[in-house]
Structure 1
Amino acid sequence: MKTPPVVSPREWEAARQQLLVEEKQLTRARDALAAKRRQMPWQAVEKEYEFDGPEGKASLLDLFEGRRQLIVYRAFFEPGVTGWPDHACVGCSMVADHIGHLAHLNARDTTLVFASRAPQPDIQRVKARMGWTMPWYTIIDDFDTDFGVNEWHGTNAFIRDGDNVFRTYFINARGDEALGSTWSYLDMTALGRQETWENSPQDYPQTAPYAWWHWHDEYDGGGESARG
């Protein structure tokens, strides 16, 4: 292993400052990409989809849990997948391990759920074994095929206007590996982080940065913000 040179603190800081220029460019580029996502057209979801959940049958609208936005990660967990029936696939399991506390997403009127073709008893067993707490539903129709995840994994974002549901974005392949934090999920949604510094379409909901942040056990309503 050929290592980089060892330098003085002053030389090291100079090198860091030089690289910091590119890092800030990357941050601005990421913000600009998220702004373009918020400008994406919406795709109307016109089919009725049904899932099995821990409390029985659920529609796609039910998955929102009354919130305005929904993110659905299709985890690869079903017969024939490596690890079955004791584990979901290794990659999907790593994604699950990286998810932050969902109260912060809920505070931005956004729900995150997992969905797989595994039956609910298997899902509940694996969740208990791995310590996962996210809502996790069973796909029982063409939802995965219709939204680009009939194999492997992928993350779809939706928004609702009353009872009308729209698909707003989709990330898969290596794009999924960057997901997990509250910020990464909000950045793929139609409404974004909903903070005043963002370049969003007119009249999108926004509040001052930091103002809405809270401890995860002290949001209004046990993890949710007031909804407009």
Structure 2
Amino acid sequence: MTAMPNTVDRATFQAELDKLRTREKAHTRESDAIAAARRRLPMVEMDPTTPLVGPNGPTTLLDAFEGRKQLIVYYFMWYPGRPAPEQCEGCTWNNTQVTELSYVHSRDITYAVFCQGPYEESARYHQFMDWKMPWYSARDSLDTLLAGRQINLMHLICYVRDGDRVFETYWTNYRGVEAVDFNYTLMDLTVYGRQEPWEDSPAGWPQGVVDGTRVDGRPTAQWSRLAAGRSDDLGNTGGEPPAARSTGCCH
């Protein structure tokens, strides 16, 4: 049997929860303070003409703003020439959760994905997954856009523009990209958490989920697309062997 918490009366339960709530509220206030510090960071100017490839062909970093003041970019890991089941499970997990963009649009913010692979095959993946967010290839501009950061690693980068001038204001990677992930946030509220081996959990708690972003050899969200009859043919073959893949998609 799976281990369970101790059973107590309602008053005892509420007393323990109240103690935890004090810590939760302190965490919320600290998160607000960190966000305030983030808003006070300096920024670095970018070349607004940095080339991208989008659905209508060559375009630029400035164009990716879609006329809005701010831009949030998810840098999607990509393995050129590999089939859909071998593409990044972490990036797939994260971006499957990005559905309704009207809320960020209402604050004059565009959310877009800059794939780190070629446009044609990655755009087929975007279509297969039935994602609606803007999708570009940044493959030929990664040295400029990621400037000293690891290529083919998931990144979230924020930009602001002043007319035709573009500035980078913030970036994060690894678990920082959980900003777009509500599933882990919900799991963290439950008694068993994410059920992953690294978590600090009581003895007997289930922790057997080693790769929770894949099921039966595919990124988890691909299965519902296949069941709906969508094609996962990316029009590619060969490419980088799986053994040579980076592990940078891990949370």
Fold shared, TM-score > 0.5 on shorter chain: yes
How many Å apart are 1:147 and its aligned residue?
A: 6.4
Could you state the TM-score of these two structures normalised by the residue count of structure 1? 0.72
How many Å apart are 1:149 and its aligned residue?
A: 4.4
Q: Does 1:57 align with 2:55?
A: no
How many Å apart are 1:124 and its aligned residue?
A: 2.5
Task: Write the mapping of 1:11-50 to structure 2, written as runs, cut at 5 A.
Answer: 11-46=12-47, 48-50=49-51
Work out the CA distance in 2 between the residues paired with 1:166 and 1:145. 13
Encode CA deviations 1:138-165: one digit per residue, 9 max, x unaligned. 1122344426241311011000000011
Percent of pairs identical after alignment?
A: 35
Work out the CA distance in 1 between the residues paired with 2:179 and 2:148. 20
Return the letter of the residue paired with 1:93: T
Encode CA deviations 1:92-125: one digit per residue, 9 max, x unaligned. 0111122241111111000011111323232232
In the other structure, the counterpart of 1:154 is: 155
In the other structure, the counterpart of 1:137 is: 136
Return the letter of the residue paired with 1:91: G
In the other structure, the counterpart of 2:205 is: none
Return the letter of the residue paired with 1:74: Y
How many Å apart are 1:77 and its aligned residue?
A: 1.6
Encode CA deviations 1:167-221: one digit per residue, 9 max, x unaligned. 100010111123346xxxxxxxxxxxxxxxxxxxxxxxxxxxxxxxxxxxxxxxx
Task: Write the mapping of 1:190-209 to structure 2, written as runs, cut at 5 A.
Answer: none
How many Å apart are 1:128 and its aligned residue?
A: 2.2
Flag the structure with larger Rg: 2
Partner of 1:151: helix, strand, or coil? coil
Encode CA deviations 1:31-88: one digit per residue, 9 max, x unaligned. 11000000000111147310000111111000000000011110002327xxx33153
Partner of 2:84: helix, strand, or coil? coil
Could you state the TM-score of these two structures normalised by the residue count of structure 2? 0.66
From the superposition, tell whether residues 173 and 41 of structure 1 become closer, same or farther in structure 2 (CA, over 3 Å).
same
In the other structure, the counterpart of 1:193 is: none
- Does the aligned pair in 1 maintain the 2:159–2:169 contact within 8 Å? yes
Partner of 1:126: helix, strand, or coil? helix
Task: Write the mapping of 1:38-117 to structure 2, written as runs, cut at 5 A.
Answer: 38-46=39-47, 48-79=49-80, 84-87=82-85, 88-117=87-116
From the superposition, tell whether residues 108 and 147 of structure 1 become closer, same or farther in structure 2 (CA, over 3 Å).
farther
From the superposition, tell whether residues 60 and 149 of structure 1 become closer, same or farther in structure 2 (CA, over 3 Å).
farther
Task: Provide structure 1 residue ranges, at least 5 long, that are not aligned to the other structure.
Answer: 182-228
In the other structure, the counterpart of 1:118 is: 117
Work out the CA distance in 1 between the residues paired with 2:181 and 2:61. 22
How many Å apart are 1:137 and its aligned residue?
A: 0.4
In the other structure, the counterpart of 2:198 is: none
- Does the aligned pair in 1 maintain the 2:78–2:115 contact within 8 Å? yes
In the other structure, the counterpart of 1:220 is: none
In the other structure, the counterpart of 2:172 is: 171
Task: Provide structure 2 residue ranges, at least 5 long, that are not aligned to the other structure.
Answer: 183-251
Partner of 2:62: helix, strand, or coil? helix
- Does the aligned pair in 2 maintain the 1:78–1:116 contact within 8 Å? no
Return the letter of the residue paired with 2:120: P
Aligned residues: 179
Work out the CA distance in 2 between the residues paired with 1:129 and 1:151. 21
In the other structure, the counterpart of 2:206 is: none
Q: Which runs of 4+ in 1 moved over 6 A?
A: none
Please tell me the root mean square deviation across aligned C-alpha atoms, in Å. 2.0
